[in-house]
C-alpha cells in the first residue's frame, strides 16, 4: 500500500498535524507536509509518496477557504484566490530531489486540488506544489563549485552564506537569490549560470562574478514560520541589522575599497500570482525619481536584457518610486549607482521569445535561461551605457 511520508527540506514547511483537515490521500496518509504560507500566496505542499512501482496515488489538498465576496478588491494580489487559480499548473514530481517535471494529472474541484500520480519503478515519488529547490540541490551546488567558494559571512542561525567568486576583473557582477525561501526560480538560474562561467574557456578577465544562490540559508534548513526569521531580510538593507545583510554589505564595501566597480547587482525572487498576470517582472524606477542619465542608462540595459532573454515579455517592468532604502534593489541603486534590479520570476510560466508567448514553467527552461543570462552579461557593452 502506498503512503505519504515525511517532508524533504528546502522550503518553509510544517508538520501535517497542524493541517490534518486539509490533506487527504488514497491510500491513507501517514504523514505529509504543508508550508506555513497559508495567507500570503505561497501555498506549497510537498511530500514523498512511497509504495509499489505502478501503484496509483491520489492526493487531495483542501485549499484554505477564501471569502471572495468580502475580499478587498483594491488589493491586486488577492492572495489565496490568485494562487489557487494557477495551482493546477505548478505541480512537479521527481525521484531524486534534484530533477523535476511538471505533471498534468492535476485538477481543481471547488477549493480542492487533486493530484494523481503513478509510482515509478523506484517505488517512490516526490510531489511538490511549486517548483522546488531542495537542500540536496543546494548541497550539490556547493560541492560542484567548492573551488570558487568564498567567505562572505554567516546567517542569523550561524550558517555560512554560500558565496562563489569567478573571474579576476575589476567590474563586479553581483547575483543573489532566495532571500525569501519559497522563491526558488533564481536558485535554478544561478546554478546554471555558474556552470557556464566556471568553464575555463569563458573569458572573465574583465569581470568578477559573485554569486549567492541562497541568501536565506537558515530557512533552507530550519522549519521556521514564514515570514523569514527573525525579519524579512529584504526589508533590512537600510539598517542592515541582520547578519545576512550586514555580511553582504561589508563584503561589497571591501571590494569597493579595493578599487572594484560594483557594476551590476541582481536580486532574484518569484512574483506574486496576480489575477490575469504572470507575476514576473523587472523592478525599475519611474522617470524623474533618479538622475536622468542614470535612469537612461538603466533603461537601455533593462530593455536589452528583456529583449535578449527567454524570461519575461519585453514590457514586463514594474515601475515604482521607493522610499528610503529598505530593499536590495534600493540599496544597490542608491549606494553604488549600480545597474541594480529585482528580477521577479513567474511561479507558473516563462516567456518564449521565438513563440512570442508563454510556456509552462520548467526546470529546463530556467537552466537554459541561466546560460542565456551569462552570455548576455559577458557580451553587453556596458561602456555604451
Q: What is the C-alpha separation between 37 and 182, in angstroms, rounded?
A: 9
Q: Report whether 269 contacts 180 (CB < 8 A).
A: yes
262 DSSP β-pair partners: 172
Q: For the segment 160-175, what is each residue's pLDDT rounded down to a tens digit? A: 999 999 999 999 999 9
- 101 vs 41, 91, 300, CA distance in Å? 22, 8, 36
Conformational region of residue 85, where left means phi above 0, alpha means psi within -120 to 50, and beta covers everything else: alpha
Averaged pLDDT, 98-108: 94
Whether the per-residue pLDDT at 63 is higher than 80: the answer is no
Which CATH number fits the domain 3-129, given the four candidates 3.10.20.30, 3.20.20.70, 2.60.40.3120, 3.30.465.10? Answer: 2.60.40.3120
Q: Which residue has the higher pLDDT, 336 or 132?
A: 336
Q: What is the C-alpha separation between 129 and 47, in angstroms, rounded?
A: 9
**Model confidence band, residue 83 (pLDDT cutoffs 50, 70, 90):** low
Averaged pLDDT, 282-304: 94
Averaged pLDDT, 301-322: 93
DSSP 8-class letter at 205: T
Instruction: Give pLDDT, residue 211.
Output: 98
Please enumerate in sequence order all residues whose Cβ is within 8 A of that of 133, keeping only pairs 6 or more positions apart, or say none. 10, 178, 184, 187, 188, 214
Instruction: Give pLDDT, residue 325.
Output: 78
Q: For the segment 211-225, what is each residue's pLDDT rounded down to a tens digit? A: 999 998 877 765 444
CB contact burial 323-348 (16+ within 10 A = b; e otherwise): eebbbbbbbbbbbbbbbbbbbbbbbb
Averaged pLDDT, 310-324: 87
Whether the per-residue pLDDT at 112 is higher than 90: the answer is no
DSSP 8-class letter at 63: P
Please enumerate in sequence order all residues whose Cβ is within 8 A of that of 109, keeping only pairs 6 or more positions apart, or say none. none
pTM score of the predicted model: 0.88
Place of cell 546567517: 155
Helices (runs of H) and strands (runs of E) counted in the chain: 8, 21
Q: For the segment 11-60, what is each residue's pLDDT rounded down to a tens digit? A: 333 333 444 444 454 433 332 333 333 333 345 667 778 788 998 888 87
Instruction: Give pLDDT, residue 4.
Output: 45
Instruction: Give pLDDT, residue 64.
Output: 56
Please enumerate in sequence order all residues whose Cβ is within 8 A of that of 252, keeping only pairs 6 or more positions apart, or say none. 172, 174, 262, 336
Could you list the beta-strand ranges (E) of 251-348: 261-270, 281-285, 317-320, 339-345
Q: What is the C-alpha separation between 134 and 369, in angstroms, rounded?
A: 19
Q: For the segment 217-260, what is each residue's pLDDT rounded down to a tens digit? A: 877 765 444 344 557 889 899 999 999 999 999 999 999 999 99
Q: Which of 50-59, 64-73, 120-129, 366-375 has the lowest mean pLDDT?
A: 64-73
Domain 135-379: which topology?
Aminopeptidase (3.40.630)
Averaged pLDDT, 254-278: 89
Whether the per-residue pLDDT at 71 is higher than 90: the answer is no
Averaged pLDDT, 330-355: 94
The residue extents of the domains of the chain are 3-129, 135-379
Mean pLDDT score of the chain: 82
Averaged pLDDT, 327-339: 94
Q: What is the C-alpha separation between 218 and 288, in angstroms, rounded?
A: 39
Amino acid at each position: 500500500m502506498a503512503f505519504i511520508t515525511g517532508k524533504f527540506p528546502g522550503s518553509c514547511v510544517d508538520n501535517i498535524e497542524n493541517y490534518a483537515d486539509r490533506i487527504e490521500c488514497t491510500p491513507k496518509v501517514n504523514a505529509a507536509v504543508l508550508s506555513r504560507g497559508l495567507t500570503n500566496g505561497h501555498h506549497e505542499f510537498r511530500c514523498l509518496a512511497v509504495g509499489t512501482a505502478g501503484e496509483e496515488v491520489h492526493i487531495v489538498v483542501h485549499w484554505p477557504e477564501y471569502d471572495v465576496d468580502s475580499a478587498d478588491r483594491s488589493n491586486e494580489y488577492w492572495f489565496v484566490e490568485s494562487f489557487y487559480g494557477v495551482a493546477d499548473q505548478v505541480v512537479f514530481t521527481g525521484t531524486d530531489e534534484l530533477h523535476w517535471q511538471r505533471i498534468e494529472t492535476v485538477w481543481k474541484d471547488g477549493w480542492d486540488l487533486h493530484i494523481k500520480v503513478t509510482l515509478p519503478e523506484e517505488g517512490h515519488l516526490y510531489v511538490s506544489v511549486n517548483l522546488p529547490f531542495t537542500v540536496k540541490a543546494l548541497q550539490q551546488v556547493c560541492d560542484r563549485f567548492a573551488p570558487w567558494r568564498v567567505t562572505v559571512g554567516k546567517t542569523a542561525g550561524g550558517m555560512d552564506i554560500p558565496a562563489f567568486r569567478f573571474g579576476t576583473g575589476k567590474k563586479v557582477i553581483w547575483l543573489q537569490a532566495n532571500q525569501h525561501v519559497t522563491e526558488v526560480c533564481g536558485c535554478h538560474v544561478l546554478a546554471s549560470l555558474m556552470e557556464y562561467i566556471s568553464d575555463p574557456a569563458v573569458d572573465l578577465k574583465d569581470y568578477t562574478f559573485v554569486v549567492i544562490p541562497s541568501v536565506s540559508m537558515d530557512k533552507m534548513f530550519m522549519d521556521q514560520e514564514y515570514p523569514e526569521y527573525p525579519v524579512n531580510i529584504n526589508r533590512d538593507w537600510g539598517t542592515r541589522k541582520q547578519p545576512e545583510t550586514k555580511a553582504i554589505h561589508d563584503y561589497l564595501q571591501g571590494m569597493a575599497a579595493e578599487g572594484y566597480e560594483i557594476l551590476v547587482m541582481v536580486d532574484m525572487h518569484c512574483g506574486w500570482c496576480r489575477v490575469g498576470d504572470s507575476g514576473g517582472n523587472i523592478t525599475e524606477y519611474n522617470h524623474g525619481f533618479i538622475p536622468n542619465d542614470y535612469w537612461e542608462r538603466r533603461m537601455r540595459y533593462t530593455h536589452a536584457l528583456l529583449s535578449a532573454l527567454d524570461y519575461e515579455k519585453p514590457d514586463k517592468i514594474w515601475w515604482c518610486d521607493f522610499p528610503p532604502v529598505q530593499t536590495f534593489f534600493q540599496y544597490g541603486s542608491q549606494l553604488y549607482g549600480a545597474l541594480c534590479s529585482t528580477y521577479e520570476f513567474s511561479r507558473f510560466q516563462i516567456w518564449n521569445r521565438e513563440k512570442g508567448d508563454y510556456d509552462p514553467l520548467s526546470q529546463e527552461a530556467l537552466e537554459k535561461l541561466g546560460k542565456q543570462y551569462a552570455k548576455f552579461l559577458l557580451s553587453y557593452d556596458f561602456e555604451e551605457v
